[in-house]
Structure 1
Amino acid sequence: MEVAPWVWYLTIGLMAAVLLFDVFIIARRPHVPSTKEVTVALIGYIGAALLFGLGVWYFTHEQAGAKFMAEYYAGWLTEYSLSIDNLFIFLLIMARFNVPAKLQQSALLIGIIIAIVLRGIFIAVGAAAINRFSWVFYLFGAFLVYTAIQLVREGQSDDDEYEENRFMRFVERRFPATKNYDGAKLFTRENGKRLATPMFIVIMALGTTDLLFALDSIPAIYGLTREPYLVLTANLFALMGLRQLYFLIGGLLKRLVYLSIGLAVLLAFIGVKLILHAMHENELPFINGGEKISWAPDIPIWMSLSAIVLILGVTTVASLIKSSRDSKQVGSAP
């Protein structure tokens, strides 16, 4: 897939313009968004993501267009589903630091901007590694399978508290902070001293949390497409509507009781796909004498897309049925 430099610049420029518009609006009027507001915005972002996929099909060659479109949709769905898992952690962070409701939009927006920059770096590094070392798919695949196992273990845990990572503990020790918010400001002055506000700590927590999630989401999408442009745009569209999704389905997240298990199955599937692909293009001398393993199937993108839709659909329906039954049992209990 050949993408002209001006297309890259135009895509990044348009996304930056949308983010700047968001920053301008929120900075002028911090508020708790209404359900109508976030619904309209979310429909707009999802609609734009779907139209973009059709554009990929239309503007590429006829035969390859359908393939690239399927790769983009598979990547977007995967990144979006993994982002929903992020939202649960974001909710815990907001509760942990007692972020005022009207400031949560500002914190999320800045956190998302940090996430976009960090993921852009990860995407570039991943593309360079893949182009130079085909065996990196073995590493990506093994890591995704390991992550899937960890997700299943975490899904069986009843611990709903946010645990700070080492970087966050370092930040809290390094930067003297006040416990009082000063609007959306990251730093303030108290008694002549420059102090970090809780907003600064929250944004650092959101940014580092997404960085950790990117460690599995970027290898996952490279298991579905090797086109850096599709990887970038799928990630951008998944992150752009994340803030609205946070406010719209905050309560619904607790009903997705099987989300971790569903994502684990999804990551394991992509991990196996990556390992099979690595075997199909094997160059490691200590595996099959450095020869390609002909019997290893290369899972086509249509099968991957179908599996992703099926896994996410079953996970959502099963979760809602389970949470509905649990709530009825609680309601009927004496």
Structure 2
Amino acid sequence: MEVTPLVWGLTIAAIGGLLLFDFVFHVRKAHVPTLREAAIWSGLYVGLALLFGVGVLVLGGAQAGSEYFAGYVTEKALSVDNLFVFLIIMTSFRVPREDQQKVLLFGIVFSLIARTGFIFLGAALINSFAWVFYLFGLILLITAGNMLKPEGEESHSADNVIIRLARKVFHTAPHYDGDKLFTVHGGKRAMTPMLLVMVAIGGTDVLFALDSIPAIFGLTQSTFIVFTATAFSLLGLRQLFFLIDGLLDRLIYLSYGLAAILGFIGVKLILHALHENTVPFINDGEPVPVVEISTGLSLSVILGVLVVTVSASLLSPAGRAQNAIANARRHAASYLDSEYTADPAERERIFRLLLTERDQIVALGPKYRQKVRDEPALIALLERARDSHDAAAARGEAAPTGAPKILDRDDGPATA
């Protein structure tokens, strides 16, 4: 697919314009987006990505169109998995809800810049060395294997080496000062946690690029398609975070699906490397006659795996329980954290969400109610949130709920 410099320039300008529009009209003024706002804008960005894909299909042909859609779907699925890590980082840093949009937009911009660099580096390596396909395939197979290992939130801790070094070298403030990156603390200029969380997000973006770029090069070698599919998968990621925020922990089988997809693309890359082989110690440097996987089959496999794993996650009682428990823990901690938000309406919204999670846990039956009771620290956290809300209601600062304990001893139905 031949792409003129004019088309490259217009595409980059359009993507930059969308990011600038996002900042000026949505992110510059700190606020918590409503579900309706997140749904509308998330749908709009997905629509733009699909419309662009139709343009590639019409102007570039069926092969180019299939490669774009396969790349876009793969990168979008990987970006959803990345959102879970972003959530952990922002929870670790206690980022105020109103300022999370700005952190996410920074992460998106940094990710696009980092991935663009990796894209052109990858394209240069592929054009110069055919053996790079072996390397990319091996990276994806190792990544797929690592995704199958059980891991908890600790494996994505925001307290990494870069953050610890920054805290030692630079004077850091313990509290946020709005969305400022620097403030005055103890009479000296200091970094705020806002800058630290952006460093943490940027660091993880680089690691994500090491996985996602080889994956999309396994589907297409067109630099333009790789760039645009990656860019459109990142656009709208901020809105998607707020749209599926409460469902992230429910996707318990998504990592298995992504592992299968990355493993599949890894095999596809190695087969392609064998087909184009020039490595002297493999078949005396001659191409190996192997079956190559078509782009159409790749797209079908990717979509099929995602449909199965996402559907299984949404229908699984274990997924619903894990999601409800994780959300209850986060909502209780957020409600008790006065720095998280000072907006009374937002605090009331958080508590209502906590009650909703409680009702879902109760509705799942004794097995999952007992799972909560087996975590005394979680129970204590939930009870403190309830007591704090009751005290606020007594002062007239919150609506009375008459809420019982998160789980009554008699396992009876929950009431609000």
Aligned residue among 309, 318, 330 for 2:312: 318
**Between the two proteins, what is the percent identity of the paired residues?**
50
- Contact 1:97/1:202 (CA < 8 Å) preserved in 2? yes
Instruction: For residues 109-164 of structure 1, give each alpha carbon's deviation from its aligned partner in whole angstroms, at most 9, with x where no partner exists.
Output: 111111111111000100000000011000000110000000000xx234456423
The 1-side partners of 2:144 and 2:134 are apart by 15
C-alpha change, 1:9 and 1:179, in structure 2 (3 Å) is same
The 1-side partners of 2:39 and 2:153 are apart by 31
Aligned residue among 275, 278, 295 for 1:283: 278
CA deviation after TM superposition for structure 1 residue 310, in Å: 0.5
The 2-side partners of 1:161 and 1:181 are apart by 25
The 2-side partners of 1:263 and 1:66 are apart by 25
Note the residue ranges of structure 2 that are not aligned, 5 or more in a row: 322-359, 367-410, 412-416
CA deviation after TM superposition for structure 1 residue 27, in Å: 5.0
C-alpha change, 1:159 and 1:19, in structure 2 (3 Å) is closer
SS of the residue corresponding to residue 251 of structure 1 reads helix
Tell which deviates more after alignment, 225-234 or 322-331: 322-331
Residue equivalent to 2:214: 219
CA deviation after TM superposition for structure 1 residue 241, in Å: 1.0
Matched, 1:261 2:256: yes
One-letter amino acid matched to 1:291: E
Residue equivalent to 2:127: 131
SS of the residue corresponding to residue 30 of structure 2 reads coil
One-letter amino acid matched to 1:22: D
Give the 5 Å matches for 1:1-334: 1-26=1-26, 28-60=28-60, 65-153=61-149, 156-159=150-153, 162-163=156-157, 164-294=159-289, 296-323=290-317, 327=321, 331-333=364-366, 334=411
Note the residue ranges of structure 1 that are not aligned, 5 or more in a row: none
The 2-side partners of 1:207 and 1:325 are apart by 29
C-alpha change, 1:158 and 1:191, in structure 2 (3 Å) is closer
SS of the residue corresponding to residue 3 of structure 2 reads coil
TM-score, structure 2 length as denominator? 0.76
Instruction: For residues 160-212 of structure 1, give each alpha carbon's deviation from its aligned partner in whole angstroms, at most 9, with x where no partner exists.
Output: 56423322322232222101111111111234421111000011111111110
One-letter amino acid matched to 1:220: A
- Which of structure 1's runs of 4+ aligned residues deviate more than 6 A? none
One-letter amino acid matched to 1:184: D
Q: How many residues matched? A: 327
Instruction: For residues 42-92 of structure 1, give each alpha carbon's deviation from its aligned partner in whole angstroms, at most 9, with x where no partner exists.
Output: 1110000111111001122xxxx1110000000000000000010001111
The 1-side partners of 2:85 and 2:27 are apart by 24
One-letter amino acid matched to 2:198: I
Tell which deviates more after alignment, 188-197 or 85-94: 188-197
One-letter amino acid matched to 2:311: V
CA deviation after TM superposition for structure 1 residue 324, in Å: 6.3
SS of the residue corresponding to residue 99 of structure 1 reads coil
Tell which deviates more after alignment, 300-309 or 312-321: 312-321
CA deviation after TM superposition for structure 1 residue 99, in Å: 0.5
SS of the residue corresponding to residue 188 of structure 1 reads strand
One-letter amino acid matched to 1:80: K
Q: Name which structure has the greater RCO, CA cutoff 8 Å, separation 6+.
A: 1
CA deviation after TM superposition for structure 1 residue 104, in Å: 0.4
One-letter amino acid matched to 2:13: G
Cα RMSD (Å) of the superposition? 1.6
CA deviation after TM superposition for structure 1 residue 323, in Å: 3.5
The 2-side partners of 1:73 and 1:98 are apart by 36
SS of the residue corresponding to residue 183 of structure 2 reads strand
- Contact 1:111/1:204 (CA < 8 Å) preserved in 2? no
SS of the residue corresponding to residue 121 of structure 1 reads helix
The 2-side partners of 1:218 and 1:113 are apart by 16
